[in-house]
Chains A and B, each alone.
Chain A
Amino acid sequence: MPRALIAEDEPLLAAGLAAELARQWPELQIVASVGDGATALERTLALAPELVFLDIRMPELSGLEVAAALAEDWPADRPFPLLVFVTAYDQHALAAFERQAVDYLVKPVEPARLAACVARCRRVLAEHGAPALQAVLDQLRGLAAEGSPAASAAPAAERLEVIQAQVGAVVHLVPVEQVLYFEAADKYLRVVTAEREHLIRMSLRELLPLLDPKVFWQVHRGTVVQARAIREARREESGKVTLTLAGRPEKLTASRLYAHRFRGM
Chain B
Amino acid sequence: MRRMLPLAAPEASAGAPDAGWWRGRGQSVLQHAVAVFALCLAIAVLLTVLERGRGFGVKLVYSTCIGLACWALIDGPRLALAWWRQHRGRPVPRHGLAAKAELALLAALAAFVGPMAGLALGDALTGVRSPVAWDFGAPATQLTFTLAVIGTLAATAAGVLLERAASARAEAEAARRLASETQLKLLRSQLEPHMLFNTLANLRVLIGVDAAQAQAMLDRLIGFLRTTLAASQAQEHTLAREFAWIGDYLALMAVRMGPRLAVQLELPDALADRPVPPLLLQPLVENAIHHGLEPQAAPGRVEVRARREGDRLVLTVRDTGRGLPARPARDGGGFGLAQVRERLRALHGERASLVLQAAPDAEGGALATITLPA
Q: With CB as the reference atom, state the residue of chain A lying closest to B213.
A: A12
Within the complex, the shortest CB–CB distance from B198 to chain A, in Å, comes to 5
Within A49-106, the residues touching B (CB, 8 Å) are 57, 59-60, 88-90, 106
A13 touching B194, Cβ below 8 Å: no
Q: Which of A9, A59, A88 is the one whose CB lies under 8 Å from B194?
A: A88
Is B165 part of the contact surface with A, judged by Cβ < 8 Å? no
Within B183-215, the residues touching A (CB, 8 Å) are 193-194, 196-198, 200-202, 204-206, 208-209
B204 touching A203, Cβ below 8 Å: no
Q: A89-B194, A107-B197 are in contact. Are A12 and B202 (CB under 8 A)?
A: yes
Is A149 part of the contact surface with B, judged by Cβ < 8 Å? no
Is A11 part of the contact surface with B, judged by Cβ < 8 Å? yes
Q: In the complex, what residues of A have CB within 8 A of residue B258's CB?
A: 10-12
Within B255-283, the residues touching A (CB, 8 Å) are 255-260
Q: Which of B198, B206, B260 is the one whose CB lies under 8 Å from A107?
A: B198
Q: In the complex, what residues of A have CB within 8 A of residue B197's CB?
A: 88-89, 106-108
Tell me the count of chain A residues lying within 8 A, CB to CB, of chain B. Answer: 26
| Chain A 7-34: CB-based contact to B (< 8 A → 1; otherwise 0) | 0011111011001000000000000000
Within the complex, the shortest CB–CB distance from B280 to chain A, in Å, comes to 26
Is B357 part of the contact surface with A, judged by Cβ < 8 Å? no
Is A260 part of the contact surface with B, judged by Cβ < 8 Å? no
B201 touching A88, Cβ below 8 Å: yes
Q: In the complex, what residues of B have CB within 8 A of residue A38's CB?
A: 297
Q: Report how far A59 CA is from B201 CA in the complex, Å.
A: 19
Which size bracket describes the interface of B in this complex? Answer: 20 to 34
Q: Report how far A214 CA is from B250 CA in the complex, Å.
A: 44
Q: Which of B193, B295, B325, B328 is the one whose CB lies under 8 Å from A59?
A: B295
Q: A10-B256, A108-B197 are in contact. Are A16 and B205 (CB under 8 A)?
A: yes
Q: With CB as the reference atom, state the residue of chain B lying closest to A60.
A: B297
Q: In the complex, what residues of B have CB within 8 A of residue A9's CB?
A: 257, 260, 294, 297
Within B96-125, the residues touching A (CB, 8 Å) are none
Is A117 part of the contact surface with B, judged by Cβ < 8 Å? no
B198 touching A88, Cβ below 8 Å: yes
Q: Report how far A9 CA is from B193 CA in the complex, Å.
A: 18
Q: In the complex, what residues of B have CB within 8 A of residue A90's CB?
A: 194
B326 touching A15, Cβ below 8 Å: no
Q: Which of A10, A89, A106, A187 is the one whose CB lies under 8 Å from B202?
A: A10
Supplied contacts A57-B194, A106-B197, 20 more A-B pairs, CB within 8 Å: A10-B198, A10-B258, A12-B202, A12-B205, A13-B198, A13-B201, A16-B208, A19-B208, A35-B260, A39-B297, A59-B294, A60-B295, A60-B296, A60-B297, A88-B197, A88-B201, A89-B194, A107-B201, A108-B204, A201-B326
Could you list which residues of chain B lie within 8 angstroms of chain A, going by C-beta atoms?
A: 193-194, 196-198, 200-202, 204-206, 208-209, 255-260, 294-297, 325-326, 328
Could you list 22 A-B pairs, sorted by A, with CB under 8 Å?
A9-B257, A9-B294, A10-B198, A10-B256, A12-B202, A12-B206, A13-B201, A16-B201, A16-B204, A16-B205, A35-B260, A35-B297, A36-B297, A88-B193, A88-B198, A88-B201, A106-B197, A107-B198, A107-B201, A108-B197, A201-B326, A203-B326
